Amino acid sequence: MGVETQTSPSLRPQNMMGHYERPSRPRRRYTTDAPSSPSKVPAITSIKLPSVLNDILPPAAKAAETSGTRSRSVSSERLDTALQQTGTPSSDTTIDLRELGTKGFALNNAVLALLHEMFPDTWNDVTGADGIEVERVSGAMTNCVFIVSAKSSASKKVLLRVYGTGVEEFIEREHELVWMSRLSDMSVGPKLLGVFANGRFEQFLDSAPLSKDSMREPSISCKIAAELCRFHSLIRVCPPEELSEAPDLFAKMRSWYRKANAGLVKLDAKRPEQAERLRAIRLHDFEAELHVLEDTLRKIKSPVVFAHNDSQYGNILKLTGKDEIVLVDYEYASINFRGYDIGNHFCEWGADYHSPTPHLLDFTRYPSKAEQLRFLRAYLETSHTLHPMSPSSLSFKTDEEAHLEEMYKECNKFALCSHALWGFWGVMQAAQNDVISFDYVGYAVCRLGRYWDIRDEVFGM
C-alpha cells in the first residue's frame, strides 16, 4: 500500500445525521459537510440514568465491502441473552453492498424487506422500493451508514449501519452489541433498534457532531466531562462476571504491539521505506518499555470505570434544539482505567481529521493545565453529585486542589498509553490495507514519536 497524505475535500462531517466518522480509526465514517460549531451551552445535562441507577450509585479498509450469507447468525448465547432481555429484534439476513450497491432500487428493496421482517408493526404500511429513501451519509473503512426514511411519514426515520470487513483484530462486534443493547435499555446513547447478520438499525438522532474547535470551548468541555463521568458510573451496573475481569489495557497493548511487529515484517516486504520510518521511532524498544509503563501506571491506582475509550470530537453529538450532548459509537468501550479514558480524550484535542494532513496531531492544541483542571473539576463535581460518599468524592471535598493535582498527573501518565496503543494500531492498519485513504504509517510515527518525546517529563510528574 502506498501512502496518501491528502484527504479528499468531500470528506467533511455532515450535520443532522446522528452519527459521524473520521478516517483515522477503523470504524469511522467519511461524511460531507463541515460541522457547525454548537452554541455554548452552560448547563450540564447529559446521560439520563434510570432512577434505579441513581439509587445504586452510592457514592478495513473497504467501506462498502461486506460479507456473509443468509445462513450467518448474529447470535451467540451472550448476545442472545442481551437481546432477549431488552426485547431487541434480530435477523440472520445479510445486506450485501457488493451486490446491491449503495443506492438505487435493489438496495431500497432489500432494506425495506428487512424493515418489514424486523419491524412489521411500524413499517409494513410502507410499500414499494420507491416508498423509502436510503441516503448514504458516510462511507468508512469499516462501516457504511445510511439514513432510512419513509416518504409518507417524517417520523419514520432510522439509522442503518452495514459493517465492513477486516477489523476483527480491533473490534469485537458481539461485545459491542451486548453493551450497546444494555446501554440502549438504560436510555444511554442512541437506541439499538435491531440487529441483523452484518449490521444494525439504530435510533436516528437529530444532531450535529462537535468540531475540533467546539470541543475545547469551556462550556462544552465541562459538559463532556460530566457526560464522561456519568458514562464511567455505569461500572456500577456491570454484570458481576465482567467486573471480576481486570481491565485489559496492558494485555491489549502487548497484543497490539506483537501484531504491529508482525505488520512491520509485512511492510519490509511491501514498502521497506515505510518500515524504516517505524524503526527510526524505536518501535522495537516498546517490547521492554511496555513493562516499565505498566509498572509505573499500576502504582497510580487509577479507578476502574466503564470507559468509552474513544471520545474524539466526532463521537460527541450536540442534539438539535437541546442543551444536551451524547457520546456515541461504543466499538472500543470496555472496563478500563479512568486515567486512560480521560487522557485519551485530552490527546484528541490535537486531532483534526478533516485537514489536508489528518494523520498528524497538533500537540500545541493539547489542553493546557488550566484547561485540564477545569475539565477535571467538572468531572469530580458530577461524580460528587452522583455518589457523594465515595472515597474519591470525600477526598475531593476535603482537599480539592490536592485531589485535582493527583488526577491531573494520573490522566497525563495514562495518556502515554493512548499514544502507544494507537501508534501500534497505525502499524497494524498500514500492513493490512492496500486501499489508501489515510497515512497510517504517518499516524503511527506521530503517536509513537510523541510517546518518546514526552515520556521522561511525564514519568517525572
Does 194 fall in a domain?
Answer: no
Of 412, 423, 246, which is closest to residue 345 (Cα–Cα)?
412
Q: Are 413 and 297 in contact (CB under 8 A)?
A: yes
CA distance 8 to 353: 11
CA angle, corner 421, sides to 418 and 427, nearest 5?
135
Coil, strand or helix: which one is 52? helix
The number of domains in the chain is: 1
Does 38 fall in a domain?
Answer: no
Does 451 fall in a domain?
Answer: yes
In the numeric block, which cell numbers belong to residue 236? 456500577
4: exposed, middle or buried (Cβ count in 10 Å: 0-12, 13-18, 19+): middle
CA distance 307 to 180: 13
Digits of tens for pLDDT over the chain (461 positions)?
333 333 332 222 333 334 434 443 433 332 333 333 333 322 323 344 433 333 322 223 233 333 333 334 455 787 888 888 888 999 999 999 989 999 999 999 999 999 999 999 999 999 999 999 999 986 444 578 899 999 999 889 999 999 876 655 666 778 788 888 888 888 888 999 999 999 999 999 999 999 999 999 999 999 999 999 999 999 988 777 777 667 989 999 999 999 999 999 999 999 999 999 999 999 999 999 999 999 999 999 999 999 999 999 999 999 999 989 999 988 889 999 999 999 999 999 999 999 999 999 999 999 999 999 999 999 999 999 988 767 666 666 678 889 999 999 999 999 999 999 999 999 999 998 776 678 999 999 999 999 999 999 999 99
Q: What sign results for the dihedral spanned by CA atoms 199, 234, 211, 437?
A: negative
Does 17 fall in a domain?
Answer: no
CATH number for the domain spanning 351: value is 3.90.1200.10
Q: Are 48 and 187 in contact (CB under 8 A)?
A: yes
Give the number of other Cβ atoms within 10 Å of residue 144's Cβ.
24
- Indicate the pTM of the whole model: 0.79
CA angle, corner 51, sides to 234 and 306, nearest 5?
0
Does 278 fall in a domain?
Answer: yes
Does 284 fall in a domain?
Answer: yes
CA distance 64 to 86: 30
- Which of the 8 DSSP states describes residue 237? G
- Print the domain residue range for 375: 208-459
In the numeric block, which cell numbers belong to residue 183? 446501554
Does 104 fall in a domain?
Answer: no
- Which of the 8 DSSP states describes residue 32? S
Does 43 fall in a domain?
Answer: no
